[in-house]
């Protein structure tokens, strides 16, 4: 009987040594709501805006307890106003940002911002999937470019308010 217990304990020790450590469970936190005001010079007027962000972040860890991935779920709203005419458009979006700390990439999926203007339809639209490296180089893009601030810059917002 002692031999059986000794063999069983030895087997458990060997199995325990060969089983890798389990990664720490992910953490999940609410992000503080943020309001970010600013202006864009549109030559004949200014786009006065306030961006509002709210969301959560989940942090994933490796077996050593080091963070390897951050996943942000973000809700975005913005009010942009033409300083001369007072025309205001409302942007909105829900999107996910995944920061891969191992491969050094940032992936955004979903609707970062969309705005419609009565009589014009969609005037701002950044939706789809975008991947950047940590140096802000675009690695992959899937989505529309016609009303994209990513490709058209601030001019897209100026055109939307003109």
Q: Are 150 and 126 in contact (CB under 8 A)?
A: yes
Q: Model-level pTM?
A: 0.80
Give the closest residue to 124 by CA, choosing from 96, 97, 87, 155.
Answer: 155
pLDDT tens per residue, range 66-89? 999 999 999 999 999 999 999 999
| Strand 27-41 with 138-142, pairing | unpaired
The predicted structure's pLDDT at residue 21? 60
């Amino acid at each position: 009987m002692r031999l059986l217990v000794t063999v069983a304990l030895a087997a458990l020790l060997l199995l325990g040594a060969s089983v890798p450590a389990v990664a720490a469970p992910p953490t999940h936190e609410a992000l503080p709501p943020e309001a970010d005001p600013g202006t864009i010079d549109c030559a004949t007027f200014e786009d006065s805006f306030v961006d509002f962000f709210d969301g959560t972040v989940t942090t994933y860890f490796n077996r050593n307890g080091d963070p390897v991935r951050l996943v942000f779920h973000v809700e975005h709203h913005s009010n942009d106003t033409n300083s001369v005419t007072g025309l205001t458009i409302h942007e909105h979006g829900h999107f996910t940002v995944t920061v891969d700390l191992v491969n050094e990439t940032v992936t955004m999926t979903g609707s970062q911002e969309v705005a419609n203007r009565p009589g014009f339809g969609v005037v701002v639209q950044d939706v789809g999937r975008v991947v950047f490296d940590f140096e802000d180089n675009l690695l992959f893009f899937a989505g529309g470019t016609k009303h994209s601030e990513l490709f058209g810059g601030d001019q897209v917002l100026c055109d939307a308010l003109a």
